[in-house]
Homo-oligomer: A and B are copies of this chain.
């Protein structure tokens, strides 16, 4: 039996600092849970001078990544540098040397996950990535273990704290996107380049990982429809509220007749639903299983210590495997590697849901009849119309909520309608979930 488990860390940034603090502060607790000490023996980072507020023993910190990868005492390598090429090299090199790996790198997993899963299976090592989705929320473990008895029927996730923070403040204060973004950047809640967050790409990375685990299918990341929150206006937030809805950037997956829907976009959901209550930088993921029904996980989706908690939970799980010689006990992709089956991800035009459309029109007789005529010809049934403050000859918003319609029909209708002379700007389209017929 091993007398200790040795951890080497590559990347001593925000998450790495959290991991180092947890392994230090909660070392005694972790030892009581695992049975032997779990020790951080090497930390590699290009910057070995900045004070991160955590004291490492002499000789642990190094600027040489090979000092981690080539140390035969190291059992588990943590890849916490982010990005694609260098991170992938660290992971594959570590695996090739028979080391277990933990990563928080959702972008890498979303794009190169299959290659990493395959390498883990080939080298018979564990690959942990609880930290890649939902920060400290143990949702990966829920998909691979806690809800493993279920066919997952749907996934709804608020899984980007920056976007949720911005939408929450827009909803509360009525301010425009750009204004709130600038404030969020000043307060440290948004990056200088916020594209990954506000364009929905980070959410799509995380959704890709969840879909892969939930359905045992490889996912081509490019097939996930991704739309951000940059075009959401206070006006649409207000209208949503009048219909009893809240706008959230939602990552959505559904299992339908052996095929999958997987998409990220601003979504109107009933304000009374648990997920709609999630404010600020919090994340929430609702999983619906055929046996368990709906389960919601809620917590901090980012940050040094919450994300560090997830990384160390993987370290503990892997240490427990090492002590029993049980690496690979749960395959990283959750399904046995020979049991993954490619499922078709439906192109966006095939999805069917409810829609909110805000037309900006010259207010004159016959406008509504022309719009509704086009919708009717495409088989789209209207559930509500909202038109306020009529001002003949002025530009006014006309809001239409539909019954279930297909994206194809909606887009075809909008192409026709947006060409009409009385339309003064491109129509705003927001998808609606959880409406019921």
Chain A residues within CB distance 8 Å of chain B: 18, 21-22, 25-26, 29-35, 130, 135-138, 141-142, 145-151, 216, 274, 277, 289-300, 305-306, 308-310, 312-313, 315-317, 320-321, 323-326, 328-330, 334-336, 339
Are A22 and B339 interface neighbours, CB within 8 A? Answer: no
B residues near A295, Cβ cutoff 8 Å: 136-138, 297-299
Are B145 and A141 interface neighbours, CB within 8 A? Answer: yes
B residues near A321, Cβ cutoff 8 Å: 324, 326, 329
Are A329 and B324 interface neighbours, CB within 8 A? Answer: yes
14 A-B contacts (beta carbon < 8 Å): A22-B149, A26-B291, A32-B339, A33-B334, A34-B336, A135-B292, A136-B293, A138-B147, A141-B146, A148-B317, A292-B309, A296-B296, A321-B324, A324-B326
Are A148 and B292 interface neighbours, CB within 8 A? Answer: no
- Given A146-B130, A146-B141, A291-B306, A336 contacting B299 (CB threshold 8 A): no
Are A151 and B29 interface neighbours, CB within 8 A? Answer: yes
Contacts beyond the supplied A26-B291, A292-B299, A324-B325: 15 A-B pairs with Cβ under 8 Å: A21-B291, A31-B339, A33-B335, A35-B336, A137-B295, A138-B141, A141-B142, A148-B312, A149-B316, A150-B309, A291-B312, A293-B299, A321-B324, A324-B324, A326-B329
Are B148 and A290 interface neighbours, CB within 8 A? Answer: no
In the complex, which of the residues B297, B299, B313 contacts A148, with contact meaning CB atoms closer than 8 Å?
B313
Are B149 and A138 interface neighbours, CB within 8 A? Answer: no
- Given A216-B32, A274-B298, A329-B329, A145 contacting B317 (CB threshold 8 A): yes
Are B329 and A320 interface neighbours, CB within 8 A? Answer: yes
Q: For residue A130, which residue of chain B has the nearest CB?
A: B146
- Docked complex Cα distance between A325 and B336 (Å): 17
Are B329 and A306 interface neighbours, CB within 8 A? Answer: no
Query: Separation in Å of the A367 CB from the closest CB of chain B?
Result: 41
B residues near A305, Cβ cutoff 8 Å: 290-293
- Docked complex Cα distance between A29 and B309 (Å): 30
Are A316 and B148 interface neighbours, CB within 8 A? Answer: yes
Q: For residue A339, which residue of chain B has the nearest CB?
A: B32
- Docked complex Cα distance between A18 and B326 (Å): 30
- Docked complex Cα distance between A243 and B277 (Å): 21
Query: Separation in Å of the A396 CB from the closest CB of chain B?
Result: 36
In the complex, which of the residues B135, B145, B292, B335 contacts A300, with contact meaning CB atoms closer than 8 Å?
B292
- Docked complex Cα distance between A141 and B323 (Å): 19
Are A300 and B294 interface neighbours, CB within 8 A? Answer: yes
- Docked complex Cα distance between A294 and B334 (Å): 27
Are B299 and A296 interface neighbours, CB within 8 A? Answer: yes
Q: For residue A215, which residue of chain B has the nearest CB?
A: B29
Query: Separation in Å of the A54 CB from the closest CB of chain B?
Result: 13
B residues near A312, Cβ cutoff 8 Å: 148-149, 291
Are A335 and B32 interface neighbours, CB within 8 A? Answer: yes
B residues near A300, Cβ cutoff 8 Å: 292-294
- Docked complex Cα distance between A21 and B291 (Å): 9
- Docked complex Cα distance between A289 and B137 (Å): 11
B residues near A320, Cβ cutoff 8 Å: 329-330
- Docked complex Cα distance between A147 and B33 (Å): 11
Q: For residue A335, which residue of chain B has the nearest CB?
A: B32
B residues near A141, Cβ cutoff 8 Å: 138, 141-142, 145-146
Query: Separation in Å of the A75 CB from the closest CB of chain B?
Result: 16
B residues near A32, Cβ cutoff 8 Å: 216, 335-336, 339
B residues near A294, Cβ cutoff 8 Å: 299-300
Among A130, A277, A309: residue with most chain B CB under 10 A: A309
B residues near A35, Cβ cutoff 8 Å: 336, 339
Query: Separation in Å of the A21 CB from the closest CB of chain B?
Result: 8
B residues near A296, Cβ cutoff 8 Å: 296-299
B residues near A290, Cβ cutoff 8 Å: 25-26, 305
Among A292, A300, A315, A316: residue with most chain B CB under 10 A: A292
